[in-house]
Amino acid sequence: MPAASPRLRRRLPGTALAFALLAAPFAAQAQFVEGPYVAGGAGFNLLPNTGLGLDSTAVTGLAAAGYGNQATVGFQPGFAGVLSLGWGFGNGLRAEIEGNYRTNDTDGATGVAGWWADGGISGRQESWGVMGNVLVDLIQIGPVMPYVGVGAGYMVTDWSSIRGYSQNGALRMTVDDSDGQFAYQGIAGLAFPLEFLPGLAVTAEYRFVGTLQPRLQVRFDNPNTGATVARGTVEPDSYQQSLMLGLRYAFNAPSAPAAPPPAAAPVQQRSFIVFFDWNSATLTERARQIIAEAAQQVRAQRSTRIEVAGHADRTGTVQYNQALSRRRADIVAAELVRLGVAQQDIVITALGESQPLVPTPENVREPQNRRVEIILR
């Protein structure tokens, strides 16, 4: 894997922080984490081909023995894992502390005047540490919540039993040492909240992690004679890239909204019309049947308001018709009460000749206007 330039590595944390700060004002409409949460992830860890950076002591010893002074170690893709405890502030900002672990096996080496052969090296690099992170959740896009962050802390780099051999077997390099240094990282991720379990989200992350260069003890010797050719320290490049999948669970996530209560059924309104003979307030047999049907519907519908409105045609004076419509309404209401309808549920009105079903001139006998309307609500 090609190594990133030192300038790029120096700029990356500052760039990530600036991105996070610029993105914060746009994070107002999403559903953000509020309160405590835990998160974890695991995936691939990638190390570049690492220049050893031999110090002057080792360089001098190798030159005296007739060897070059440059060496590079390659690494296979390895494992990365993190576990975090955090707090969301409800506005898109989160702070967390994490523990992390990474490991990569060696995969070939070159250098020292071309004496290293691919596959002639063994061992692995491990690193672990603790870091504090600040993250910003951005605007939720459909089911996805992007986020960015930066972190800083302390990380130990351990070269565990790394041994490399020259092609002719006359030189062996051994590094079996560890060193802790200040560490930094940039984070970019996507969270996929799971609707069926509020608070739980699947995460996918990219992390760029770097440390100040560790100083590790190195020894070059002749494996055939056991004679030491050179000793010193190496300062390997120390940055890594991780791609991880994980889970995050927020403890104070709002529960899924409860289903709204079913809407109350609209009140069914029924009406019945009782007709009267001309100038009469006497109930006919048909009128009693209609009133009985209305009373039965009151019980079935459980109506709590029964309106009884009396009407008259336009024969006679307005005052006379007003009184006649009142008598008609009263007698219908009395029949309803006799059939079991509560008196207090009945509202009686007398409308006289003001609301005819069939408009007519004065003094016209119109049977449809001589009526009482029973309205159930």
Of all residues in the chain, the percent with pLDDT exceeding 70 is 85
- Residue 34 CB neighbour total at 10 angstroms: 17
pLDDT of residue 164: 81
Q: How far apart are CA 368 and CA 202, in angstroms?
A: 73
pLDDT of residue 147: 97
Residue 57's pLDDT band (cuts 50, 70, 90): confident
How high does pLDDT run on average in the chain?
84
Mean pLDDT, residues 118-141? 88
Q: Do residues 191 and 203 touch, judged by C-beta distance below 8 A?
A: yes
Among positive and negative, which fits the CA dihedral 6, 12, 18, 19? positive
Q: What digits encode the pLDDT tens for the residues 19-46?
A: 444 444 433 345 799 999 999 999 999 9
Q: What is the pLDDT of residues 6-21, one digit of tens each?
A: 444 444 445 444 444 4
- CA 281 – CA 326 distance, rounded (Å): 9
Domains of the chain with CATH codes:
6-250 (2.40.160.20), 270-376 (3.30.1330.60)
pTM of structure: 0.61
| pLDDT of 326 strictly over 60 | yes
How confident is the model at residue 155, as a pLDDT? 97
If you write DSSP's letter for every residue of 209-278 in order, what string do you get? Answer: EEESPP-EEEEEE-TTT--EEEEEEE----EEEEEEEEEEEETTPPPPPPPPPPPPPPPPPEEEEEE--T
Q: Binning pLDDT at 50, 70 and 90, where does residue 238 land?
A: confident
Rounded to whole angstroms, the Cα distance separating 23 from 188 reads 12
> Which of the pair, 233 or 253, is modelled with greater confidence?
233
How sure is the predictor about 258, in pLDDT bands with cuts at 50, 70 and 90? low
Which of 118-132, 246-260, 361-375 shows the lowest per-residue confidence on average (mean pLDDT)?
246-260
3-state SS record for 334-356: HHHHHCCCCHHHEEEEECCCCCC
Q: What is the mean pLDDT of residues 198-217?
A: 95
First to last CA, the chain: 81
pLDDT digits (tens, 9 = 90+) for 172-189: 888 999 999 999 999 999
What pLDDT shows up at residue 23? 40
Rounded to an integer, the average pLDDT of 222-243 is: 88
360-368: average pLDDT: 90
pLDDT(255) > 70: no
- For 341-361, the pLDDT digits (tens) are 888 888 999 999 988 988 989
Select, from the ranges 2-6, 66-70, 109-113, 207-211, the one with the highest average predicted confidence (pLDDT).
Answer: 207-211
pLDDT digits (tens, 9 = 90+) for 279-324: 898 989 999 999 999 888 888 877 778 899 999 999 889 899 899 9
Contact 52, 73 (CB under 8 A): yes
Contact 216, 231 (CB under 8 A): no
Task: Decide if 211 contacts 193 (C-beta within 8 A).
Answer: no
pLDDT (0 to 100) of residue 342: 85
Place of tokens 């009782």: 274
Residue 181: how many other CB atoms lie within 10 Å: 16
pLDDT score for 267: 55
Q: 151 falls in which pLDDT band (50, 70, 90)?
A: very high
Q: How confident is the model at residue 297, as a pLDDT? A: 86
> Which of 362, 247, 263 is closest to 313 using CA atoms?
362
